[in-house]
Structure 1
Amino acid sequence: MKFINPKTDYAFKKIFSSDDSQDILISFLNAIVYQGQPVIASLEIIDPYAPGRISALKNTYFDVKAKLNNGQNVLIEMQAFNVPAFTKRIAYNTAKAYANQLKIGEEYLEVRPLISLAVMDFTLFEVSQTVISQFIFKEKHQLFDYPEYPFELVFVELPKFKKTLEELESITDKWLYFLRKAPDLEIVPQKMAIVPEIDKAFAIANRINLSVEELEDLEKREQFVREQKGSIEFSREEGREEGREEGREEGRAEGIQTGQLTLVQRLLRRRFGEITDEILNRLEQLSSDDLMALGDAIFDFSSLADLVAWLETK
């Protein structure tokens, strides 16, 4: 058997938000957010995964959305590589989703708490070796909770999870191991298979169960992730050098964005040949987030007219 890599957003959405993934997502969220306690009894997956929609995966930056049995919303993002202002983006989009719960004329009592979960294939918090970090509203000095507990930010740093198969103990350990090691396995380990939801996740992740269309979309996404990672790392090194020379943080962010622009230009030339100066100039005006979104969308463009139409929305 060969399993798809859940550390790509396309595969993550396939596994955790398919029509039959409710029990998988419940087990995963209870393990990651509630330390294995059965706090979540049921949920509704919003905008479930459907084949042929790869271009829509990053429209809102969240790969999986669900509403819990208590009315609370959960937003989950799988992020394969670090990008400039990532933590600001998470906080901004979470706050926006929290605020957007109310329709015109509704009372504040209708607002429900929200959980934003970011699963990352990179290290974000160098000051800690903890795999799962949870941030909530507390009083700054006495550390008591804010009364309404509006939203919680949960970060999972997969590179920090070092346990081997033999060392797995909790349900949390097993889900983290699944995320890190699934594509390296050829069989479902018995220690994992005894958890029905994880066994089912492996079944969904089995490449043999994917359609030709799904495999093609997955390969496109994996190719983009590989190239984006390489481009960002190269640009990060250039940015560090620029930052050292100029003594400012902006040098690093600018280096990363330059690498993203170079990657997008290369992908477009590979797909459509030479690009006009007008289009190149418009690409240079895009933000880092827009460049990442365009990198996703390129694989669905059939002509340069599709690219121009996409740019008109920015």
Structure 2
Amino acid sequence: MIKDRYINPLTDFGFKKLFGEAANKELLIHFLNQLLPEKHQVEDLEYLPSERLPSSFLDRKVIFDIYCTSSRGEQFVIELQRSKQNHFIDRSIFYSTFPIQEQSERGDWNFKLWPIYTICILDFKINQPNPHNRVIRYVQLKDQDKELFFKDLTYIYIELPNFTKTLDELEDLQDKWLYLFRYLAKLEDRPAALQERIFTRLFRAAEIASYSTEERQNYEVSLKKHRDIKNAIDTALEEGLEKGRAEGLEEGLKKGEERGLEKGELKAKKAMAKQMQAANLPLEQIAKITGCSLEQIKNWLKD
């Protein structure tokens, strides 16, 4: 039984319900415009099919969370990732190659590309130095003198754990969106600090009581998966690190600790995979969350 008043936007169902439906595209447009430069502000957008088929049977199929294009031609790949993944940055760059390839034209073509944005909303901190604990990081191609080399390929990483502002500390609309991503599901009423018209629409779209029976059931399934994944990861990491440290101490101080932690991390991933399988998660999703290959996951679960 769902006790919350508002949906959790960090679940698959919640994210796509609020931002992936044509009826709510105003919410997505407003959110994007808080991230984009003035020259790329979105006036209207069109959702594109999220499943990108491979060009040959040897290539890998991908499914984006949200894929859309603005009325002027800018393209957006928007990904929500709740659990930490070792090679997530590699994955985000791989994903950006699909809209690049899809811009090719038959016949004579001068290779001019429309701007592409890969936007990643992360409920964890990525494995990259972040001395200023930035919540939002903009990444573009630069040369050895740190001069912008190519302006139309941009990666935006939003690390939600770094956002710690309270309601009283929110300074602008960007802050308010980040606050809602983190705390919407915990709110019982709409705060006075969030009275803008766009948030009237958001709170209306997020109210679980207004959903059909089928939508509430789908949300419950998504919420359960969200909690099961989090619990599985927390438990597996805790157990894995404990075993790793124990083995590391047996093998020696510095060298042993490094090897032990390595083994512990592997055991953590195995335990995580088994717990997620028990929660009936598809093997493809388990591989995506752990950052391991599908073949490796199958071998572990077979054992």
State whether residues 84 and 288 of structure 1, in contact with CA within 8 Å, keep that contact through their aligned partners in structure 2: no
Residue in structure 2 matched with residue 200 of structure 1 by the alignment: 201
- Structure 2 residue identity aligned to 1:261: A
Residue in structure 2 matched with residue 306 of structure 1 by the alignment: none
Alignment CA distance shift 1:230-1:108 (3 Å): farther
Distance in 2 between the 1:4 and 1:104 partners? 44
> In the comparison of the two structures, how many residue pairs are matched?
265
Residue in structure 2 matched with residue 261 of structure 1 by the alignment: 273
Residue in structure 1 matched with residue 70 of structure 2 by the alignment: 68
Deviation of 1:3 (Å)? 0.3
Distance in 2 between the 1:193 and 1:286 partners? 37
Deviation of 1:198 (Å)? 2.0
Deviation of 1:16 (Å)? 0.9
Per-residue Cα deviation, 1:217-251 (whole angstroms, up to 9, x for no partner): 11111111111112112222344456653625754
Ranked by relative contact order (alpha carbons within 8 Å, sequence separation 6 or more), the top structure is: 1
- Please say if 1:171 is aligned against 2:173: yes
Residue in structure 1 matched with residue 148 of structure 2 by the alignment: 145
State whether residues 264 and 291 of structure 1, in contact with CA within 8 Å, keep that contact through their aligned partners in structure 2: no
Residue in structure 2 matched with residue 2 of structure 1 by the alignment: 5
Alignment CA distance shift 1:26-1:287 (3 Å): closer
- Please say if 1:220 is aligned against 2:221: yes
1:193 is paired with a residue of what secondary structure? coil
Alignment CA distance shift 1:256-1:30 (3 Å): farther
Residue of 15, 28, 31 corresponding to 1:28: 31
Residue of 159, 162, 168 corresponding to 1:160: 162
| Higher-strand-fraction structure | 2
Distance in 1 between the 2:199 and 2:242 partners? 44
Distance in 2 between the 1:264 and 1:104 partners? 44
Deviation of 1:84 (Å)? 3.1
Distance in 1 between the 2:285 and 2:218 partners? 25
State whether residues 241 and 268 of structure 2, in contact with CA within 8 Å, keep that contact through their aligned partners in structure 1: no
Gaps of 5+ in 2: 51-60, 249-255, 293-303
- Structure 2 residue identity aligned to 1:27: H
State whether residues 102 and 108 of structure 1, in contact with CA within 8 Å, keep that contact through their aligned partners in structure 2: no
Residue in structure 2 matched with residue 229 of structure 1 by the alignment: 230
Alignment CA distance shift 1:190-1:108 (3 Å): farther
Distance in 1 between the 2:277 and 2:82 partners? 21
TM norm structure 2: 0.76
Deviation of 1:28 (Å)? 0.2
- Please say if 1:92 is aligned against 2:104: no
Deviation of 1:175 (Å)? 0.7
Distance in 1 between the 2:285 and 2:122 partners? 24
Alignment of structure 1 residues 269-280 onto 2, 5 Å: none
2:111 is paired with a residue of what secondary structure? helix
State whether residues 61 and 77 of structure 1, in contact with CA within 8 Å, keep that contact through their aligned partners in structure 2: no
| Residue identity (%) | 26
Alignment CA distance shift 1:213-1:103 (3 Å): farther
State whether residues 75 and 115 of structure 1, in contact with CA within 8 Å, keep that contact through their aligned partners in structure 2: yes
Residue in structure 2 matched with residue 209 of structure 1 by the alignment: 210
State whether residues 32 and 172 of structure 1, in contact with CA within 8 Å, keep that contact through their aligned partners in structure 2: yes
- Please say if 1:130 is aligned against 2:134: yes
Residue of 43, 46, 55 corresponding to 2:45: 43
1:117 is paired with a residue of what secondary structure? strand
Alignment CA distance shift 1:254-1:286 (3 Å): farther
Distance in 1 between the 2:85 and 2:290 partners? 11
Give the alignment's Cα RMSD to 1 decimal: 3.1
Say which is worse superposed, 215-224 or 91-100, in terms of deviation: 91-100
TM norm structure 1: 0.74
State whether residues 8 and 79 of structure 1, in contact with CA within 8 Å, keep that contact through their aligned partners in structure 2: no
1:192 is paired with a residue of what secondary structure? coil
